[in-house]
Amino acid sequence: MLEIVDLLKVASQFDAFFIDQFGVLLDGERPYPGAREALAALSDLGKPILLLSNSGKRGEANARRLVQLGFARSLFQEVLSSGEVAHAQLASAIGIHLPPKPKIWLHSRDGDLSAVENLPVELVQAPESADLLLLAASNADRISLDEYSHLLRSAADRNIPCWCTNPDIVMLTAHGPKPGAGRIAQEYGAIGGSVTLIGKPYPMIYQEAARRLELKNPRVLCIGDSIEHDIAGGFTAGHKTCLVGSGIHARSSIKDLELEARESGVMFDYYITAFRLKEE
């Protein structure tokens, strides 16, 4: 592992970048200091940048939010979110593995319905009346895990499948880290429910990202703040990885992070304390 102080010094070795959104560019509410400038500098290299995000929202919804927060749309090729990949999977499952007009219990934030946009589905309020649970986000800053277990128990008893389109175990909020959608999915599994996880670190999102690059055998650097998701996913996909010390590991030492990675059977190639051009 190489600790770096200047992102651009290693960037020249790569043909493309897969960059995480939360914990790298955003703290959950606003951009990290220097993140916009760092992304602009990478963009100036003329190499493809895909923002790979465990977000239940579709790609363009994420892109619009970034633009609203001051990231120019020209700085990245697109946002490939787990929600975007899940939307494609859901579209292909309707009428084959699901009824022609399936009943969907959609759990999202801020009334976001992009997960089922333009799809022939019926949204239902009660999880136990659904054909599929679509867990696109967490509201664990307002709803406890015990409350989630109680809410979902009847659905688990009826063997209703759950797709978790944001596998993050922890989400960053203005009030600190809270349980993410992935943690709620774990609760559903613990009470007997069937869970499919879509997003990082699982192969499907990396395969789709590579397809969208349209490059032959590209040298890719994956930049993220989560060992469990960004580093493990990039490592398994055969890419070089850079762990960012902000986000969920903000209070951890490099030695602790190296130990955690080894215990997980992976290792990051680079480490930088924050996503910015040159550290002070």
Can you give the CATH number for the domain in which 121 is found? 3.40.50.1000
Cα-Cα-Cα-Cα dihedral sign, residues 125, 129, 133, 139 = positive
Give the span between the Cα atoms of 171 and 182, in whole angstroms: 9
Instruction: Tell me which of 197, 212, 232 is where a domain ends.
Output: 197
Q: What are 16's strand-pairing partners?
A: 220
Other beta carbons within 10 Å of 260: 15
Task: Answer whether residue 71 is part of any domain.
Answer: no
Cα-Cα-Cα-Cα dihedral sign, residues 80, 81, 84, 85 = positive
Instruction: Tell me which of 197, 223, 246 is where a domain ends.
Output: 197
Residue with tokens 């040159």: 278
Instruction: Tell me which of 140, 169, 197 is where a domain ends.
Output: 197
State the total domains in the chain: 2
pLDDT in tens, the chain (280 residues): 677 777 888 999 999 999 999 999 998 789 999 999 999 999 999 999 999 999 888 999 899 999 999 999 999 999 999 999 999 999 999 999 999 999 999 999 888 899 999 999 999 999 999 999 999 999 998 999 999 999 999 999 999 999 999 998 988 777 778 899 999 999 999 999 999 999 999 999 999 999 999 888 899 999 999 999 999 999 999 999 999 998 777 777 888 889 988 998 999 999 999 999 875 4
Range of the domain at 161: 84-197
Both 172 and 118 in a single domain? yes
Both 176 and 236 in a single domain? no
Both 96 and 190 in a single domain? yes
Q: What are 122's strand-pairing partners?
A: 103
Task: Answer whether residue 188 is part of any domain.
Answer: yes
Longest CA–CA separation in the chain, Å: 57
Task: Answer whether residue 267 is part of any domain.
Answer: yes
SS3 17: strand
What pTM, to 2 d.p., does this model score? 0.83
